[in-house]
Structure 1
Amino acid sequence: MAFIWRYSMRSEVIKAIIWDMGGVLIEEKLTADDTQIPQIGMSIAELAQMVFYHPLTPKLFVGEEHPEKLWKVIGDELNISNDEAQKLGVDFWGEPIWNYDLLDYITSLKGKYKLGVLSDAWITTRKIVQEEIHDDLFDAIMFSAKEGLRKPDPKIFQRMLSRLEVTAEEAIFVDDRINNVQGAEQVSIHGIHYTPEIDIQERINQITSNAKRQVL
């Protein structure tokens, strides 16, 4: 019986690490940016509130609407032309502020673990982030708009596991939103709630070490 128990625990070895993007790999500052946008008479933070709480926005995250439509509607609400609104949409996001220390660490994990990115993101996001989020580094890249699902829906986690060809117990998921971490844990993925203060390498080492000890 001891042999059977030891065999069954082998599935606990960590084989994959899945990363959220915004708030983990990319800094999120929009909602705190008080830089003024002269042409619309409001700050970036105020525009962010308008964008993120707009009735159309949830549909963008699951691919049911295109960002161009959102910016057209916002442009109408702000009394600016569609061309101005679309340019505002480009300027609003700006260039990603990458967490290069974390990306360097992830690069060091390549070959040791399968690596994934799972992000709630609009259909236009892939092009914006392709400099760092690419197939040479990550084994699976999933954006909610393309999948038609968003976190913390269990089905999107299960889909990621399928693409990485691992079980839930063999995977770690890192996200800055606790509800997404809890969603991953509900399907038995090891969850890590990411904060700026966390020692992510130490936390991952703890999980991988515990998993290895269970196999012994």
Structure 2
Amino acid sequence: MTTELNVLNTKFEKSGSLKANVDFSVEAINGTVVHQVVKATLAGRRQGTAATKTKALVSGGGKKPFKQKGTGNARQGSTRSPLMPGGGTVFGPQPRSYEQKVNKKMMLVAISSVLADKHQAGKLHIVEKFESTGKTKDMFKALSSRNLLPALVITAEVNEQVSRAVSNLEKAKYAPVDGFSVYEAVKFENLVIEKAAFEKLIGRLV
């Protein structure tokens, strides 16, 4: 299925169109897969460094706290026992990885679904080429004048000028297409993407 998309010039005004051999219909949106990929992305960002000391790791406890018999108390062999104050922790958190596996097919379905959703909502904006002075105020003026904020700005290659101009915007984020994130695309209302970057992204889907 072919989808026709508008292409904007450097002033974010319509200057042409682009045909993509990808289904961007409502039926092509798979919210379940997008949700799963977003969850996996957020899980992968967790540090997983929480740790508690078990009985074996707590220092001290070499001496038997009191004699075995005659005290009326339960017998104890170490002050580091989880039953004693200052003892080890039972079943406490240990360092672990929260990373969730996302296979290639699932990721491509998620990318396609996000693009389809943005297109259906009128929030997918393809720009012929980004021309930036590197100044935040110029980028803010250009994006806000066309009501394109909040926005995720994507270029085909790493663009230091665009990156510098977007980095200080509260409601925008920059990334080259190789670093395209489904989570970031969902997070920001508008997806403003360079034509070459869009074609590169579409190339992964067909």
- TM-score, normalization by structure 1: 0.28
Greater helix share, structure number: 1
Larger Rg: 2
Say which structure, 1 or 2, has more relative contact order (CA 8 Å, 6+ apart). 1
